[in-house]
Amino acid sequence: MQNMLMGRYIPGNSLIHRLDPRSKLLVMFIFVIVIFFAHDWLGYLLLILYTFAGVLLSGISISYFLKGLRPMIGLILFTVIFQMLFTPGEHIVFQFWILKISTESLINALYIFFRFVLIIFMSTVLTLTTPPLTLADGIETGLAPLKKIKVPVHELGLMLSISLRFIPTLMDDTTMIMNAQKARGMDFGEGNLLQKVRSIIPILIPLFVSSFRRAEDLAVAMESRGYQGGDGRSKYRQLKWSKNDFVLLLSIFILAALLLMWNAFK
Amino acid sequence: MNKILEVENLTFKYEEEQEMPTLDGVSFAVHAGEWVSIIGQNGSGKSTTARAIDGLLENVSGSIKIDGEILSSENVWALRQKIGMVFQNPDNQFVGATVEDDVAFGMENQGIPREEMILRVDQALKQVNMLEFKGKEPARLSGGQKQRVAIAGIIALRPEIIILDEATSMLDPTGRAEIMRVIREIKAEYNLTVLSITHDLDEATLSDRVLVMRAGKIIKSAKPEELFGSGEDMVNIGLDMPFTSSLAEDLRANFNLPEKYLNEEELADILAERLRK
């Protein structure tokens, strides 16, 4: 469970590390849309340069990004191969039965491949450079306008930050329960599928019960420290926009504008 | 001395059909600046008493007076500000995602302005000697360190009473000694009243007064030296003796020790004196 990359944060003090999580989230969101604006090699070149700049500025070794790619590799290959085999095209390079590989389909497959890689790289930049907690803060303040339509933003933010805080605690619990069951003769990961599923129950139920106990203790501790809900609370953590955040936002808009312009001129 | 906490005829049942009530007419008073320990076997109602005082239980009959005001559902939040509670499990009471967030949590609830919070967080962490861990997550701290953070979160709120609900029971001896040292220091500095619920008799010997609970009742209230001086009695209640008392018991035949409670230093002095002769 240690090699989970999701939400893994690598401390650092690079330009990207110092940015406001809200601007990073927003840019990430826009980037995913912008990526569909690109239809040819020049568009993709721009996107690749943009992503590459992000990776370089984060100051994190490229191997982390490749690791982030690993769990997705199956999906990427699957999609790319299907694109290659089933995209209709005129200039046939290779043909076998109903499977045709044309130059068009090759190019199309390459584009799909880059689309995947770029999105994964960009989101990895976001998660590697932003502590999960700050990310949660960013999401909470990002959702703040929704308060007007009665979305419980404070509660969502609190839930998110408590969940993040309890992930390592519950992981420890899981390992402890697994070891305790092993010590009593339980065999995990043996037998057929049904037996494997069944062997999860002795972990799951104690974990469930202990979570309830933790939740109750936590609720009492929160109440005794005067927690009465979101109203009338002040905030200790504060996010601050800096000049760099505006530059970042500007850069994604310029990228989008360039791509749109290039599409229009063609 | 004025009474900061008065508990009168407290009675409580967790379930309606419970035969023996968890609390059965508990009455006691604590003076301002006093350190009172409550000891007793498991299930004697110690923790329930603590929760009732903080207004965390419903359907408690009897009256609780904090700083002269009777606790009711209207003023529970205001009176709770005068009380800081430290619970048993260091992990489960850690609300914040990092040390500083956890210390700030109580202040955020009271709507204290941010500049003030920043000052108080640093000050409180310094007091419990945890300033260098300010940005750390709970997963990277030991149990004793987490309890010290919990105490810092309470000091930052400036309460008048601190209730320790078996706050040291999940710690190792070093962590336990460290917590007791911190409590003693802040008690002296802010002139706090401490109500400590504990199984650790050596911890109880440090207090001004000890209340013994059994089956939902307070059966004894005495100074630790009086209580632990009457050796046999303690074992009957189902409790042990502090280390020095049992040592003195074993040595009594050979050394002609006085028939009263001795703390470590007193015992050492007397033994040294006897051996010199």
What is the pTM (predicted TM-score) of this model? 0.81
Query: What is residue B232's predicted lDDT score, i.e. its pLDDT?
Result: 63
Closest CA to B88 of B199, B181, B178: B199
Q: Is B54 at the interface with chain A, CB within 8 A?
A: yes
How close does chain B come to A229, measured CA to CA in Å? Answer: 8
d(CA A233, CA B256): 63
Q: Residue B17: is its pLDDT beyond 80?
A: no
pLDDT tens, chain A, 266 aa long: 444 444 567 777 777 777 888 888 888 889 999 888 888 888 888 899 988 888 888 888 888 888 878 888 899 999 888 888 877 766 677 766 666 777 888 888 888 899 999 998 888 888 888 887 788 888 888 888 888 898 888 888 888 888 888 888 898 899 999 999 999 988 877 778 888 888 888 899 999 999 999 999 999 999 999 888 777 788 888 888 888 888 888 888 888 888 888 888 87
Residue B113 reports pLDDT greater than 60: yes
Neighbours of A108 (CB within 10 A): 17
User: B173-189 burial, b for 16+ CB within 10 Å, e for fewer?
Assistant: eebbebbbebbeebbee
Radius of gyration of chain A measured on its C-alpha atoms? 24
Q: Do B95 and A218 touch (CB under 8 A)?
A: yes
Please check the confidence at residue B198 and state whether its pLDDT lies above 90: no
What does the alpha-carbon distance between residue A251 and residue B35 come to, in Å, rounded to a whole number? 63
Question: Which residues in chain B are closer than 8 Å to A168, comparing Cβ atoms?
Answer: 137-139
pLDDT of B175 over the 50 cut: yes
Distance of CA A3 to the CA centre of its chain: 15
> Does the distance separating the beta carbons of A161 and B93 come in below 8 Å?
no
Question: Cα–Cα distance between A140 and A156 in angstroms, integer?
Answer: 7
A70–chain B Cβ distance below 8 A for any pair: no
Secondary element (H or E) of residue B62: strand B61-66
Chain B: closest CA distance from residue A130 (Å): 14
Distance (Å) from the C-alpha of residue A162 to the closest C-alpha of chain B?
7
B135: DSSP letter:
T
Mutation target to probe the A interface, by most A beta carbons within 10 A, among B91, B103, B134 is: B91
From residue B179, give the alpha-carbon distance in Å to each of A141, B100, B147: 37, 19, 8
Q: Does residue B64 register a pLDDT over 80?
A: yes
pLDDT for A1 = 41
Residues of chain A neighbouring B108 (CB-CB closer than 8 A): 233-236
Residue B18 gets which letter from DSSP? -
Predicted interface score ipTM higher than 0.90: no
Rounded CA separation B122/B128 (Å): 10
Torsion-angle region of A195 (φ positive above 0: left; ψ -120 to 50: alpha; else: beta) = alpha
In this prediction, residue A127 carries a pLDDT of 83
Å between A226 CA and nearest CA of chain B: 6
In the chain, the amino acid numbered A17 is H
> Which residue from A133, A136, A214 is facing B92, i.e. has the nearest CB?
A214
pLDDT tens for B89-107 read 998 999 888 899 999 999 9
Q: Does A238 touch chain B (CB under 8 A)?
A: yes
pLDDT of residue B230: 67
Which of the two residues, A213 and B60, has the higher pLDDT score?
A213
Of A133, A226, A238, the CB nearest to B114: A238
Position B159 confidence tier, pLDDT thresholds 50, 70, 90: very high
- Please give the pLDDT value at position B116: 92
Does A237 sit within 8 Å of B101, measured CB to CB? yes
User: Closest by alpha carbon to A165, among A218, A233, A230?
Assistant: A218
Min Cα distance A72 → chain B (Å) is: 29
